[in-house]
Structure 1
Amino acid sequence: MRDTEKVYSPPRTRLARWLAEPGADVPEPIRLALIANLYGTLPIFVGGVANTILVAAVIAARLPTPPILAWLVMEVAVCLSRLAVLVVADRAARAGRPTPTDLNLMLAVAWAGCLGYGTFVSLVSGDWVAATLACLSSAAMVGGTCFRNFSAPRLTGVMIALTLGPCCLGAALSGEPLLAVTFVQIPFYLLAMTKAAYRLNGLLVATMRAERENAALALHDGLTGLANRAGLNAAFERHGHRAPGLLYLDLDGFKAINDTHGHAMGDRLLRSVAERIAEAAGSEAVAARIGGDEFVVLCPGRARGALIDLGERLIARIAAPHPIGPDGQALAVGASVGIATAPEHGTGLAALMRAADSALYRAKSLGKGRCSVASRKAAESVSEGPPEAERMSA
């Protein structure tokens, strides 16, 4: 996999977008990852261009005719331009700036055209050593093109056509009847390699989808779709530097609903509660279900007053009837909220959760349906163990 810190820009022009199109219904994150694959790595690029420049130089030394020399000049110019684009794009991607993706795609097409031109002028030169070298080089590069650029099958097909297509024209003008076989061989080769590129592209997209789905399952609660404990930990690692506040919620009366209406209805209620928590918390907050009827909301950069307002709003939203019954029956459940803030109640997630859980226990002991902020004393005693155990035994 590529360096996830580097993000390459999608193509902007119509032609570049057409060339880079990976297929229908491909999510945007996967499209960006496929664009990154088209840039390749510097060692692979250097190996490829070194071969084509060497072949062009050897043939130019053997046949220093204007068409052959022009091929060598074009080959060097295009390869140096591609190298410069790769370096610039790598630096821009690391810095979060736009990358020259359109230019990178156009230069890839130009490089394929140079190979095709070189093969053509070598074939019509009448020198079969030069023709053999050029054809071998083109064939080798076509294989590399297919397996390096299958992130964009259309680009692969165009590059193969430009690389090998001129062989047919060169064969027609070479004066050798046996070379007419290329009119059958090359179209079938082009079709087979392009089809292989599409197949590899489909496998790659399917694999990337599966990776993302597995990652999502690992970080999200299967019932509600909110973050789970692992997802909450990951979110805290991303946002912990922004002095986050943390709300710890526990439903009041949920066990009675489960016992009376069954677990299926209880699951529906939990999903309804989760939707209301996510809506009230907003897009910048991270809502998580950490087990049973317990929820946590991580709020980066919110002041104490804003956290209290959110806690009271959550209590009111959750307490409103939930029309989840089979006949529109509405169920009611309450919620209590404990609040902790960083750095007042700790700087780590575990410390904040213990302090918020202590405040939640106090809110429940005062009559439930309340919002309570952790005290300084709670922050100083969090190392003694989570009061969750005390609440469970109460």
Structure 2
Amino acid sequence: MVVPESVAVQLRNGLFASVPIFLGGIMNIAAVATVAVWRHPSPAFIGWLLFEIMLGAIRLAVLVHGRRVIRTGRTPPLLLLSALLSCAWASSVGFGTYLCLTSGDWVLATIACLSAAAMVCGICLRNFGTPRLAATMVFMALLPCVVAGFLTAEPVMPIISVQLPIFFLTIFSASFSLHQMMVSRMIALNDLQRSESLNQTILQASPDYTLILDATNRIIFCNQPNSVDYDQDTLIGREWLSLLPEEDQASGVRALERAKTGKSANLVTHHFDASGGKHWLDIIINQICDGSGRLIMVARDITHQKKSEEEAIWMAQHDALTGLPNRAVLQDRLDRMLNNADHAMVGALLIVDVDNFKSVNDTLGHDAGDALLCAFADHLRAAVAGDDIVARTGGDEFALILTARSATAVDRTAQMIFDRLRQPFVHGGRLIDCSASIGASFIPRDGRLRSEIMKAADIALYAAKAGGRAQLRIFEPAMMVEVDRHQAMIASARYALQCDTIIPHYQPKVSLRTSQVVGFEALLRWRDRDGELQHPGLIQAAFDDSALSGPLSERMLERILDDVERWVQAGIAFGHVAINVTAADFRRGGFVETILLRLDARGVPPSCIQIEVTETVFLGQSADGVKDALRQLSDHGIRIALDDFGTGYASLSHLNQFPVDLLKIDRSFIEKIGSNPDAEAISATVINLGHCLGLEVVAEGVETVDQEAHLMGMGCDTAQGFLYSKAMPMEDVATFLAFRNTPPRQMHRA
């Protein structure tokens, strides 16, 4: 049998155990020796008595020392000495018994034999852990008795001497059997202790709650993680179902019934800690297979997982920027309202769009746009009742579902929104104007399907924007006409791109000093399905569409450079062509490289091109990138014109910060010259400002000789407008130049 080391240590330490048997043996043999000395005070008996006293004292000292060492958890160092002393003591017992048997005093002999028998029993009991030592001690204690039996004259003694070897064998067998039995028990106990220790360690290290229920569902064992809020002893004896919240008790009963059939049961429930915090538990219940009807229950705290799930669900249903519900929540609410609605109106859907939001993003940057959206969301929340819902459906568009049942109620909510939006909004030290357009539809008046309700509100919103923005429009069937027009614009722009009918036209720019054409501005024209030439106003909606505005700009640039290349190769003195560029063109990246590479590929000098930008490109987070782009163009000889000066957001400092060569006075000022002194003063101021900064000044929209005369008097450099010519196709430019730039005398001779 392989004995574990821990058990072997216990067996060896048995030499220092069983103190009562140890003391009883010493005292008993000392008493026999004393009686022997009293009855026969011979030197042999006296020597035996003294030896027993001395040996007993030594053994007792060794025993006490060994026990002290064991109590400290160490291995006693006197094992061999203790074993030798035990053998010496057994020998002294045998020697004393031999003296008593051979003394002829049968009273003493009887006492000695009884004592020896008792000593043998004590030896076997006390030294079961070391059976070889026990057998040796028995042999040493009884062997002298065998010899003494043969040496006495009494006839019966030899018979006893013959029986003693049989007794030896019996004692030996009993000692080894007892040893095996006790060792097996100790090994079993050791394994059990190790198993219990392992189980206890697992329980203590486990983050799970472990309960055992008896057949009546009462708790008879409870192990909880260290983070519990109450003593686990308070749970012992309680009925488990009483710990569940009321709404989960029916599920708990079903789970117990399932577990008692031998199947695994699962239950997700919760409880509140002492501070009121909610904790979620995932419980697995199984029956203990011992026929007792007990159940074991393991509960894992899944609060963190639940919170993560709740956060994921929240994020899936809400807008990350504003915290408002998203389109999915809005659609679900609409579907439920429509399912429960009869013919009477149960509510209204409002779609709210931030006016000019793209301009804020382009001019002040996306951080300002995000801040504006958050403030806008707060205004909407504050304007609705508790049962109403406010959602962000994407970009700068929001939606509200109101319990309003009349146009008056919708108008009242809209006015509250408009009132709140009039409050100043400041970002980065700038005051930003925030307004909104609102389109509304009624549920279920304007449709029995969610898509119909939302489409009706979208149409109403489009009507609100088309009507001047910052207003509320409630859906009417007639609004479909305007939506159809918007869709027609988008479709026409797509058609023009697909069929390649984008055609640049050129409006001349005339020097007011020489009356000569100094250049042209490229303007977009396109042909419809009937081949008719159309103005860009008929596809205006496409310029606000991110999917179409880029391709339109690319197509125009390609066509303009093709025309310029032909004029250069034909030697036509057209001066330059001004190309309009927006902030979106710069944001797309690579604009400067595209211009320069295409000019180089066509062999066109950069001086043949001008770039016209509005003041909005100087604003926003991309201003530094625009400045670098314009600087590169300027360094390559391309002049930069600032269009619509005086109507945007730019400050005069931008004229120094950006490489501007020309100022263009907006037509809104030019058309009032001769009738509005303020317009004349503004125009004169812009011209003087431009000249002071060394810039050329161009007047747009000149249509009358009187306007031209006023501009010449103000010292304006260049003019363009219908007074000189409408925008013309590329084919007419050469003829126009030949006629316009011919000196008067040559024209007269002709």
- Written as runs of structure 1 = structure 2, the 5 A alignment for 1:99-138 is 99=76, 100-138=78-116
Question: Of the candidates 151, 156, 173, which is equivalent to residue 173 of structure 1?
Answer: 151
What is the deviation of 1:36?
Answer: 2.2
Equivalence for 1:67: 44
Equivalence for 1:88: 65
Maintained 8 Å contact 1:123/1:170: yes
Q: Residues 215-242 of structure 1: CA distance to partner in whole angstroms, max 9, x if unpaired?
A: 333343xxxxxxx5x21466xxxxxxxx
Equivalence for 2:179: 201
What is the deviation of 1:45?
Answer: 2.0
Per the alignment, in what secondary structure is the counterpart of residue 302 of structure 2?
helix
Equivalence for 1:350: 226
Total equivalences in the alignment: 229
1:179/1:291 Cα in 2 relative to 1: closer, same or farther (>3 Å)? same
Equivalence for 1:33: 10
Maintained 8 Å contact 2:21/2:122: no
Maintained 8 Å contact 1:56/1:72: yes
- Written as runs of structure 1 = structure 2, the 5 A alignment for 1:255-270 is none
Q: Distance in 2 between matches of 1:102 and 1:216?
A: 30
RCO greater where, 1 or 2, for CA within 8 Å and sep 6 or more? 1
Equivalence for 1:52: 29
Question: Of the candidates 147, 155, 167, which is equivalent to residue 133 of structure 2?
Answer: 155
Q: Distance in 2 between matches of 1:61 and 1:150?
A: 35
Matched, 1:190 2:188: no
Q: Residues 310-356 of structure 1: CA distance to partner in whole angstroms, max 9, x if unpaired?
A: xxxxxxxxxxxxxxxxxxxxxxxxxxxxxxxxxxxxxx97149xxxx
1:148/1:382 Cα in 2 relative to 1: closer, same or farther (>3 Å)? farther
Matched, 1:214 2:209: no
What is the deviation of 1:66?
Answer: 1.4
Q: Residues 106-163 of structure 1: CA distance to partner in whole angstroms, max 9, x if unpaired?
A: 1111110000000111112222122111111101111111112111111111111111
Amino acid aligned to 2:143: G
The alignment yields a C-alpha RMSD, in angstroms, of 2.9
What is the deviation of 1:73?
Answer: 1.2
Q: In terms of Rg, which structure is larger? A: 2
Per the alignment, in what secondary structure is the counterpart of residue 107 of structure 2?
helix
Maintained 8 Å contact 1:92/1:98: yes
Maintained 8 Å contact 1:150/1:201: yes
Q: Residues 240-264 of structure 1: CA distance to partner in whole angstroms, max 9, x if unpaired?
A: xxxxxxxxxxxxxxxxxxxxxxxxx
Per the alignment, in what secondary structure is the counterpart of residue 141 of structure 1?
helix
Q: Distance in 2 between matches of 1:64 and 1:154?
A: 36
Q: Distance in 1 between matches of 2:192 and 2:275?
A: 34
1:216/1:183 Cα in 2 relative to 1: closer, same or farther (>3 Å)? same
Equivalence for 2:606: none
Q: Distance in 1 between matches of 2:193 and 2:74?
A: 27
Maintained 8 Å contact 2:120/2:138: yes
Q: Distance in 1 between matches of 2:42 and 2:29?
A: 18
Amino acid aligned to 1:210: A
Equivalence for 2:268: none
1:90/1:27 Cα in 2 relative to 1: closer, same or farther (>3 Å)? same
Equivalence for 1:231: 201
Amino acid aligned to 1:206: S
Matched, 1:144 2:93: no
Equivalence for 1:18: none
1:349/1:105 Cα in 2 relative to 1: closer, same or farther (>3 Å)? farther
Maintained 8 Å contact 1:116/1:164: yes
Amino acid aligned to 1:170: A
Amino acid aligned to 1:113: S
User: Whose strand fraction is larger, Structure 1's or Structure 2's?
Assistant: 2
What is the deviation of 1:196?
Answer: 0.8
Per the alignment, in what secondary structure is the counterpart of residue 129 of structure 2?
coil
Maintained 8 Å contact 2:146/2:160: yes
Question: Of the candidates 43, 49, 59, which is equivalent to residue 20 of structure 2?
Answer: 43
Equivalence for 1:307: none
- Written as runs of structure 1 = structure 2, the 5 A alignment for 1:16-31 is 24-31=1-8
Q: Distance in 2 between matches of 1:151 and 1:383?
A: 59
1:144/1:383 Cα in 2 relative to 1: closer, same or farther (>3 Å)? farther
Maintained 8 Å contact 1:351/1:382: no
Q: Distance in 1 between matches of 2:304 and 2:121?
A: 66
1:392/1:135 Cα in 2 relative to 1: closer, same or farther (>3 Å)? same
Per the alignment, in what secondary structure is the counterpart of residue 350 of structure 1?
coil
Maintained 8 Å contact 2:101/2:148: yes
Give ranges in structure 1 of 5+ residues lacking alignment: 1-23, 221-227, 235-287, 293-347, 353-380
Q: Distance in 2 between matches of 1:47 and 1:385?
A: 66
Amino acid aligned to 1:191: L
Equivalence for 2:357: none
What is the deviation of 1:96?
Answer: 4.0
TM-score w.r.t. length of structure 1: 0.53
Maintained 8 Å contact 2:128/2:134: yes
Give ranges in structure 2 of 5+ residues lacking alignment: 210-223, 229-273, 281-300, 310-750
Maintained 8 Å contact 2:21/2:126: no
1:57/1:391 Cα in 2 relative to 1: closer, same or farther (>3 Å)? same
Q: Distance in 1 between matches of 2:68 and 2:197?
A: 31
Q: Residues 350-381 of structure 1: CA distance to partner in whole angstroms, max 9, x if unpaired?
A: 149xxxxxxxxxxxxxxxxxxxxxxxxxxxx9
TM-score w.r.t. length of structure 2: 0.29
Q: Distance in 2 between matches of 1:385 and 1:60?
A: 85
1:136/1:219 Cα in 2 relative to 1: closer, same or farther (>3 Å)? closer
What is the deviation of 1:202?
Answer: 0.9
What is the deviation of 1:187?
Answer: 0.6
